[in-house]
Amino acid sequence: MSNFTSLWFLLVFSYFFSNFLFDSIFTYSNASTLFPLQQEGDALIQAGWWVNQNISLRCKWKGITCDASGSIIMIQVRRSLPNGSTLHNLNFSSLPNLKGLYLINSSLQGGIPPEISQLSKLTSLFLGSNDLSGEVPLELGNLTNLLELDLRNNMFTGTIPSTIGRLTNLKTLDLSHNQIGGFIPSQIGNMKSLTGLYLGNNLIIGSIPSAFGNLSNLSNIVMKHNKLIGPLPTTFWSLTRLIWLSLSYNYFNDSVSQKIQKFKGLEILELHENVFSGPILFSVVHLTNLSILNLSSNRFNGTIPVQIDHLEKLNILNVSYNMFSGPIPATLVGLLYSTHSPYYVLNNGITLEIDFSHNFIDGELPRLSLDNHLRPTSINISYNNLVGKISDSFLFFRSVNLSYNKFEGEVCDQILHRFDVSAVLGNQKLCGSIPPLHPCDSQNHGIFKMLMILLPSVFFFVLCFSCFTLVRSRSKKKVTHEIESNKHGNVFCIWDYDGKVAYDDIIEATEDFDIKYCIGTGGYGSVYKASLPNGKVVALKKLHTREAQERTVYKSFQNEVDMLKEIRHRNIIKLYGYCLHKRSMFLIYEYMERGSLFWVLSNDTEAVELDWKKRLIILQRVSHALSYIHHDCITPIIHRDVTTCNILLDSNLEAFLSDFGISRLLDHELSYHTTVGGTCGYIAPELAYSVVISEKCDVYSFGVVALEVIMGKHPGELLTYLWSKSIPRIFIKDLLDSRLKSPLLQIGLTQSILLTLTLAFACLHPNPKARPTMQHLTREFNIRRPYQDELAFNEITIDQLVKQEIYYVHQI
Ligand SMILES: *[C@@H]1O[C@H](CO)[C@@H](O)[C@H](O)[C@H]1NC(C)=O
Ligand SMILES: *[C@@H]1O[C@H](CO)[C@@H](O)[C@H](O)[C@H]1NC(C)=O
Ligand SMILES: *[C@@H]1O[C@H](CO)[C@@H](O)[C@H](O)[C@H]1NC(C)=O
Ligand SMILES: *[C@@H]1O[C@H](CO)[C@@H](O)[C@H](O)[C@H]1NC(C)=O
């Protein structure tokens, strides 16, 4: 007991004494040799990376973290260091307690000095994205406490040192994007804790050593773009925890068939551009978690198994440039429908890209039924031996390439116009109205002409019909059209809703739109809450009588109805019906218990309930809904008024996009020239000097909404200087809605917030062309990002996210 007390006393005393002494005599240069903590400060000053700083406050310098005793345990630099900075600048022996060294994107030059092995307590070493060169030193192997080692994106040469095998605690090793050559040392098999191994984009030769089989914790292996050869060792197939396997762009020549089945949890399998062979698909169809399957440019063969529809999470299926043969099984169609829960859709994206091109596939294409909801699908089956006619159902695809097959008969004009004639070239027996296709013979000409007239209307009919059946099948309710003639005069109402609801019921439920039922006022009218006699509660959006007579308002009303009828998305508000009447027009919506996102954010109690996770989910859902209207509707739609007022929340705080009052159907070819709509504070800057509307205006507004959701209030003037030359230094932590608990308390949350903010800032780019598309954003939300770096969060500033130093927004 007394021992402990005196020790404690001694510690406290020596700490204060050293500081006191330092303050009074810090001009004496040799003072530092007396006091180890002082040496730490000296090392930093000598490095020249911090200038004009008070050394006794070093624990508060930007990027420095100390432990309770005042010893430096972490250095994090994410800025450019002075020209010519090298790791030799840092006196490692003065920093005995350092655990984390993060020098990312700091313009470091030179090599890694062997003295780095003096940092014996180091657990995280991040030196990515610098100009480091030379060999990876043997001495790194002395850092046996390392958990993460990141040297990616430098100019390292030489080979992977065999001493790396001593890093038995290492979880992530990233040497990608360097010029490292030589063989993979067999000692790598000792790194039993390894979960992520990233060696891609180097010059590594030889084959994968059989010691790999010991790395039973590996979940991610990325070795693409190297010069690796030969078959995979038999031990490789025991890595049953693999989730991401990328061996593409090498010279592997294994026959892969049964074995791959062992990787049951695989989500990404990239073997493209190798010399792999074997009837791989028969075993791949059992990897039901696959979302990316790229086998392109190998020598795989065999037929496409009927079980292909088991891969229902696939987003990319690329088997092009192989030797697959036989017909495409009818079950493939199963992949094209979206039968998944919205949660699944949100997390994995709903698009599907199929590439079967350059194989020996024959037979006819399976028939598509349009009863179900098609996923947005691109399909390339060019350069095969497919026969039969080209069905009109291809119109429902996002992109199509059927060229260089043996298709015959007539191809309809809609397909030629939508996908260009190049999509069907190289089919000798095909005819159509656009050269170089030869015209269909005159015998059919009459029928052809008739079709020309009929098809558009048939197409339109099918479209409307499928819209309606979809909306209907969802609610399984009857549609009632009625034209009533009663005391209110002529009323035209359409209900897609539970039973029969009369105009009178509405009037009664709202006491003829009495103010006490009004729950909000929007651009064109007011919103009322009505409890109908059947017990249902609905929201009514009623246009004011005066306005109802105005043509523009009437048109806006029509627009909203037209659009909502076509749209079917889980996060877009459901339209139950509408009424047109001389005196009033109104829309009947699903009622949203929690009102608008704006309202929830402005109420302190409700805002707290809307925690970080819920907020991020709301943003993902809204981005998904916008991506849907921009890219997945047959006619793209621009919302034009994306604000927190127009995002409504139901009782589960699920978000719904509403108010299409001023959006317009966007013609594919033309940008819109039209009067400015939208809400101040959300309108994209280009609309100030031009009236060209594109979906990038919605992207901008989404960026504002995302910031607002994270900040808890409208970002205001932040928007004006965000992309200016001199962004003020604002820490991200100071940007966050202060009513919520710090996201640091929850694992992974800070990353999601940083990613969301990075995406939001990209959306707010002043140049519309530089903004990402909504489709692209939804994808970015879902990209697996292997690195965790919670510690730096408090240091990160806005400009780092704007410059995408932490997360990079991939442009398509
Ligand atoms: C450094 O900071 C200490 C503690 O705040 C203060 O007492 C001292 O005067 C400062 N020294 C200089 C040179 O600014
Ligand atoms: C590094 O620091 C140690 C004491 O921690 C000292 O002995 C040594 O001289 C320093 N090296 C250089 C190059 O300054
Ligand atoms: C560090 O590694 C080198 C080379 O691997 C070795 O010679 C040296 O003894 C090691 N030093 C310590 C302090 O372990
Ligand atoms: C597939 O993914 C789900 C959800 O991530 C997971 O629960 C399941 O274990 C995975 N299946 C396999 C075989 O790993």
pLDDT at residue 97, rounded to an integer: 92
What pLDDT digit, counting tens, does each position of 432-475 carry?
A: 888 888 888 754 444 444 444 444 444 444 443 443 334 333 33
Mean pLDDT over 598-610 rounds to 89
CA of 54 to the centre of ligand 1 (A): 6
The Cα angle at residue 59 between residues 54 and 60, in degrees rounded to 5:
70
What pLDDT digit, counting tens, does each position of 614-649 carry?
A: 999 999 999 999 998 888 876 778 887 888 888 999
Mean pLDDT over 356-363 rounds to 94
Residues 577 and 717 in one domain: no
DSSP string, 313-363: T-SEEE--SSEEEEPPPGGGHHHHB--S-HHHHHHH-S-EEEE--SSEEEE
Residues 200 and 233 in one domain: yes
- Domain edge (last residue) among 315, 343, 367: 367
How far is Cα 324 from Cα 38, in angstroms, rounded to an integer? 69
How far is Cα 24 from Cα 293, in angstroms, rounded to an integer? 67
Q: Is 480 in the pocket of ligand 1 (CB under 6 A)?
A: no
Residues 628 and 690 in one domain: yes
What pLDDT digit, counting tens, does each position of 170-225 carry?
A: 999 999 999 999 999 999 999 999 999 999 999 999 999 999 999 999 999 999 99
Residues 195 and 271 in one domain: yes
* CA neighbor of 622 nearest in space, from 657, 595, 648, 651: 657
Mean pLDDT over 380-388 rounds to 94
Least reliable range by pLDDT among 304-318, 398-412, 480-494, 642-656: 480-494
Whole-number percent of the chain with pLDDT over 90: 39
pTM above the 0.85 mark?
no
- In-domain check, residue 433: no
- Domain edge (last residue) among 553, 575, 590: 590
- In-domain check, residue 453: no
The phi, psi pair for 238, rounded to 5°, reads -90, 0
Three-state SS for 586-624 is: EEEEECCCCCEHHHHHHCHHHHHHCCHHHHHHHHHHHHH
Residues 622 and 670 in one domain: yes
What pLDDT digit, counting tens, does each position of 700-729 carry?
A: 999 999 999 999 988 887 887 788 777 778
- In-domain check, residue 249: yes
Distances (CA, A) of 70 to 317, 381, 691: 55, 65, 59
pLDDT at residue 495, rounded to an integer: 54
Residues 586 and 623 in one domain: no
- In-domain check, residue 29: no
Closest residue by CA, ligand 4 atom 4 = 289
CB-hemisphere CA count at 13 Å for 396?
20
Q: Is the dihedral of CA 601, 603, 608, 610 positive or negative?
A: negative
- In-domain check, residue 54: no
pLDDT at residue 4, rounded to an integer: 46
Residue 346 — pLDDT band, cuts 50, 70, 90?
very low
Q: What CATH number has the domain bearing residue 74?
A: 3.80.10.10
Residues contributing to the annotated binding site for ATP: 541
Least reliable range by pLDDT among 84-93, 418-427, 476-485, 610-619: 476-485
Domain count for the chain: 3
pLDDT at residue 531, rounded to an integer: 85
Q: Ligand nearest 286 Cα, by number?
A: 4
> Greater confidence, 335 or 518?
335
pLDDT at residue 395, rounded to an integer: 75
Residues 233 and 133 in one domain: yes
pLDDT at residue 370, rounded to an integer: 57
Q: Is 94 in the pocket of ligand 2 (CB under 6 A)?
A: yes
CA 773 to chain centre: 11
- In-domain check, residue 710: yes
- Domain edge (last residue) among 559, 590, 621: 590
pLDDT at residue 299, rounded to an integer: 94
Catalytic residue flag (residue 789): no
Q: What CATH number has the domain bearing residue 672?
A: 1.10.510.10
Residues 713 and 580 in one domain: no
Range of the domain at 577: 500-590
pLDDT at residue 781, rounded to an integer: 79
Residue 18 — pLDDT band, cuts 50, 70, 90?
very low
Residues 256 and 362 in one domain: yes
Residues 576 and 602 in one domain: no
pLDDT at residue 12, rounded to an integer: 43
Residues 114 and 220 in one domain: yes
pLDDT at residue 660, rounded to an integer: 66
CA of 37 to the centre of ligand 1 (A): 16
Q: Ligand nearest 23 Cα, by number?
A: 1
- In-domain check, residue 559: yes
What pLDDT digit, counting tens, does each position of 203-216 carry?
A: 999 999 999 999 99
- In-domain check, residue 320: yes
pLDDT at residue 435, rounded to an integer: 80
> Greater confidence, 600 or 397?
600
Q: Is 93 in the pocket of ligand 2 (CB under 6 A)?
A: yes
Q: What CATH number has the domain bearing residue 580?
A: 3.30.200.20
Q: Could you say which of 42, 150, 641, 659 is catalytic?
A: 641
Residues 571 and 679 in one domain: no
Closest residue by CA, ligand 3 atom 14 = 142
First vs last C-alpha separation in the chain: 66
Residue 143 — pLDDT band, cuts 50, 70, 90?
very high
**Mean pLDDT taken over the chain:** 79
Write out residues with Cβ below 6 Å of ligand 4.
Answer: 264-265, 289
Q: Ligand nearest 288 Cα, by number?
A: 4
How far is Cα 336 from Cα 377, in angstroms, rounded to an integer? 7
> Greater confidence, 6 or 765?
765
The Cα angle at residue 375 between residues 371 and 381, in degrees rounded to 5:
100
Q: Residue 88, Cβ neighbours under 10 Å: how many?
A: 14
